[in-house]
């Protein structure tokens, strides 16, 4: 048995991590533009401090990123050289609607993305577009309080209507909200939320959750009505939680933690809040802020497929000692797995387990839209970059994916690595933490000429795609 015909191999990026040009083309300020590099970054990401504009004391890596805005033709040509069948990218809301609440869109921003999509089509590369990828017009956070304000549903509906109408026939695959479950921890980065001491943090977060879930359903409705060829998916930060021991207490804790994340896709796939969430809300005195036709919209506009990122599994149990931050989510140490420098467990089999877990739950096609290894790359004297560690990581994870598809019968549309080209790390803001098959000469201090060069993994992934995943040596 082999992979499905027309399996979508490719790579994945996000506008705020690669475009740069933060104040060009009439683009407005976004929440991503005020995330600083360094020790203050995480407090801003979580919404623990209000920051509404850049200052002179911090460096903001997304302002220039890797300059994809001016270099996309060069980058897409290199993706085509690898044999990409799809390229996942996002659109910056503030490039289309600079403030987010305008009546009319910014034509210069619309034209930029049209040019990118047409460049992809030139090479028969299918765009896979994330509509909201940690990228919110700053005006909507400062003036309206981010997604806690119901008015953002209306602004988002206008935004997605503009996208679907303008790019009809150019884009067929869409994702609504990137890693939607991360909004409960990375509150400012994912939802434009900030908090004061007197705030009821739980109520604010879960009000925002409802508004985002409702906006996602509206996106499905508008997308399907605009073009029946559109296929629209949700997107989950995945990777199952293992119980620390076989103690039933630990097993129950793992179940509860997994449910915290699956609740988002439960609503997006099934069209209603699961009973365990309803009961949790009751215990916390929170009433879901249903209005108008929310319940009907959720019920009748479920997604076509489930996409997800996978980097690691995590561990939870009653013994909290030794817990650490594993890329915005806490985990205990798994003694059976190696761990990379940024705190993620290396668990290829966990990808197969996660795929089966999600597919068993929903029976919808899956799409792995992020999987990759952030690492420190060294340029040799001859200019080569020998990243065998990245090749090993991808080989093992692709094999696990194939086992899930070919042995377990999981339906999967495609696989896009994060990221095919070095870009700004979301969690840390680093360039030092490199993911790409393509090296970008850009450093954490802002130096570098942005030149591109091919790593050893570039040629390996090219061979992998050519063989449809059969040649992984």
Which of 78-92, 332-346, 451-465 comes out lowest in average pLDDT? 332-346
Residue 126 has pLDDT above 60, yes or no: yes
Specify the pLDDT at position 288.
Answer: 98
- Residue pLDDT, tens place only, 370-424: 999 999 999 999 999 999 999 999 999 999 999 999 999 999 999 999 999 999 9
Residue 28 lies in a domain: yes
% of the chain exceeding 90 in pLDDT: 94
- Residue pLDDT, tens place only, 23-52: 999 999 999 999 999 999 999 999 999 999
CA angle 345, 347, 350 (to 5 degrees): 120
Q: What is the mean pLDDT of residues 196-222?
A: 97
User: For all residues of the chain together, what is the average pLDDT?
Assistant: 96
Measure the CA dihedral 22/81/438/311, to 10°: 90
Residue 125 lies in a domain: yes
Contact partners, residue 131, CB within 8 Å, separation at least 6: 90, 91, 159, 160, 163, 174, 175, 176, 177, 219
Residue 425 has pLDDT above 60, yes or no: yes
Residue 186 has pLDDT above 70, yes or no: yes
Q: Which CATH number fits the domain that encloses residue 415?
A: 3.20.20.80
Residue 2 lies in a domain: no
Residue 325 has pLDDT above 90, yes or no: no
**Nearest-angstrom CA–CA distance, 192 and 145:** 7
Specify the pLDDT at position 327.
Answer: 66
Residue 1 has pLDDT above 60, yes or no: no
Specify the pLDDT at position 319.
Answer: 82
Instruction: Output the pTM of the full model.
Output: 0.96
Burial class (CB in 10 A: 0-12, 13-18, 19+), 97: buried
Specify the pLDDT at position 2.
Answer: 76
Residue 322 binned pLDDT confidence (cut-offs 50, 70, 90) = confident
Residue 343 lies in a domain: yes
Task: Please choose, from the candidates 148, 23, 204, 52, the residue with its C-alpha nearest in 3D space to the C-alpha of residue 44.
Answer: 52
Could you give phi then psi for residue 362, rounded to 5 degrees? -120, -25
Q: Is the dihedral of CA 361, 367, 368, 370 positive or negative?
A: negative
Q: What is the largest CA-CA distance in the chain?
A: 65
List residues with catalytic annotation: 179, 370
State whether residue 103 is helix, strand or coil: coil
Range of the domain at 383: 8-466
Residue 343 binned pLDDT confidence (cut-offs 50, 70, 90) = confident
Q: What is the mean pLDDT of residues 270-295?
A: 97
Beta strands 412-418 and 8-12, pairing class: parallel
**Nearest-angstrom CA–CA distance, 398 and 75:** 23
Q: What is the mean pLDDT of residues 308-325?
A: 88
Residue 1 lies in a domain: no
Q: What is the mean pLDDT of residues 269-293?
A: 97
**Nearest-angstrom CA–CA distance, 206 and 212:** 10
Specify the pLDDT at position 318.
Answer: 87
Q: Where are the alpha helices (DSSP H) in 145-186?
A: 151-166
Residue 472 lies in a domain: no
Task: Give how many domains the chain has, as a whole number.
Answer: 1
Residue 302 lies in a domain: yes
CA angle 18, 457, 433 (to 5 degrees): 45
């Amino acid at each position: 048995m082999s992979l499905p015909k027309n399996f979508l191999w490719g790579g994945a990026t996000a506008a705020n991590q690669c475009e740069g040009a933060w104040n060009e083309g009439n683009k407005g300020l976004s929440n991503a533009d005020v995330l600083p590099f360094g020790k203050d970054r995480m407090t801003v990401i979580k919404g623990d401090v209000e920051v509404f504009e850049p200052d002179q004391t911090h460096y903001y890596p997304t302002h220039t990123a890797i300059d994809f805005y001016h270099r996309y033709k060069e980058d897409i040509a290199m993706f085509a050289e690898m044999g990409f069948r799809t390229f996942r990218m996002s659109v910056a809301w503030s490039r289309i609607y600079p403030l987010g609440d305008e009546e009319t869109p910014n034509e210069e921003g619309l034209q930029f993305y049209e040019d990118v999509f047409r460049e992809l089509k030139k090479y028969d590369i299918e765009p896979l577009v994330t509509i909201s990828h940690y990228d919110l017009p700053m005006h909507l956070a400062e003036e309206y309080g981010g997604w806690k304000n119901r008015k953002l549903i209306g602004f988002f509906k206008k935004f997605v209507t503009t996208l679907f109408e303008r790019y009809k026939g150019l884009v067929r695959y869409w994702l609504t909200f990137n890693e939607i479950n991360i909004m409960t921890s990375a509150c400012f980065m994912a939802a434009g939320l900030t908090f004061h001491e007197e705030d009821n943090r739980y109520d604010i977060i879960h009000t925002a959750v409802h508004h985002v879930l409702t906006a996602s359903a509206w996106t499905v409705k508008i997308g399907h009505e605009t073009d029946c060829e559109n296929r629209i998916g949700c997107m989950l930060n995945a990777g199952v939680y293992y119980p620390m021991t076989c103690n039933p207490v630990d097993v129950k804790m793992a179940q509860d933690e997994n449910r915290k994340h699956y609740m988002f896709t439960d609503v997006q796939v099934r069209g209603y809040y699961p009973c365990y969430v309803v009961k949790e809300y009751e215990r916390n005195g929170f009433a879901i802020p249903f209005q108008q036709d929310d319940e009907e919209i959720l019920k009748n506009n479920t997604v076509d497929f489930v996409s997800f990122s996978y980097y690691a599994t995590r561990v939870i149990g009653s013994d909290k000692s030794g817990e650490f931050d594993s890329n915005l989510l806490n985990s205990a140490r798994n003694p059976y797995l190696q761990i990379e420098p940024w705190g993620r467990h290396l668990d290829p089999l966990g990808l197969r387990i996660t795929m089966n877990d999600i597919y068993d739950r929903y029976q919808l096609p899956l799409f792995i839209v992020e999987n990759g290894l952030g690492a420190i790359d060294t340029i040799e004297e001859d200019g080569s970059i020998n990243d065998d560690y990245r090749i090993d990581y991808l080989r093992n994870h692709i094999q696990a994916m194939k086992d899930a598809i070919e042995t377990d019968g999981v339906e999967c549309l495609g696989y896009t690595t994060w990221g095919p080209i070095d870009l700004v790390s979301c969690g840390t803001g680093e360039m030092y933490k490199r993911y790409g098959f393509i090296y970008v000469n850009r450093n954490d201090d802002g130096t570098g000429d942005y030149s591109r060069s091919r790593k050893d993994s570039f040629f390996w992934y090219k061979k992998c795609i050519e063989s449809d995943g059969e040649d992984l040596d």
